[in-house]
Amino acid sequence: MKLYILGPDGRTLVCVEDPLEWALWWAANRNAGIVASITVGHVRISTVLLRFDHSHAEGTPQLFETALLDQAGNAEQFRTVCARYATWEEAEAGHAEIVRTIKREQVN
């Protein structure tokens, strides 16, 4: 399994081979992987770096995820709403699109 940390710019992914190096970096940089997080009405929309590839070795590495939670932090009712991305830029764009969708749904 490939493990990832963020490079000096805080957005570029760096693959590391050493699990200890990976663990120590994340211990020192706990919030580094937060792309965006916002509450819209009763829905929390959070996009984060997953720290390792979630593509299951099929295609492009999927390293970021947007998930929806209710105010209590419960993802159960939103289980089918989850999006994954390969890059920080894709994650930002995907997050923004989901925020727009949730805002439109709450208006209607």
pLDDT in tens, the chain (108 residues): 788 999 999 999 999 999 999 999 999 998 999 999 999 888 889 999 988 877 777 778 889 999 888 765 565 555 556 789 999 999 999 999 999 988 988 776
Which pLDDT value is given to residue 72? 59
**pLDDT at residue 74, as a whole number:** 61
**pLDDT, position 71:** 65
| DSSP collapsed to 3 states, the chain | CCEEEECCCCCCEEEECCHHHHHHHHHHCCCCCEEEEEEECCEEEEEEECCECCCCCCCCCCCEEEEEEECCCCCHHHCCCEEEECCHHHHHHHHHHHHHHHHHHHHC
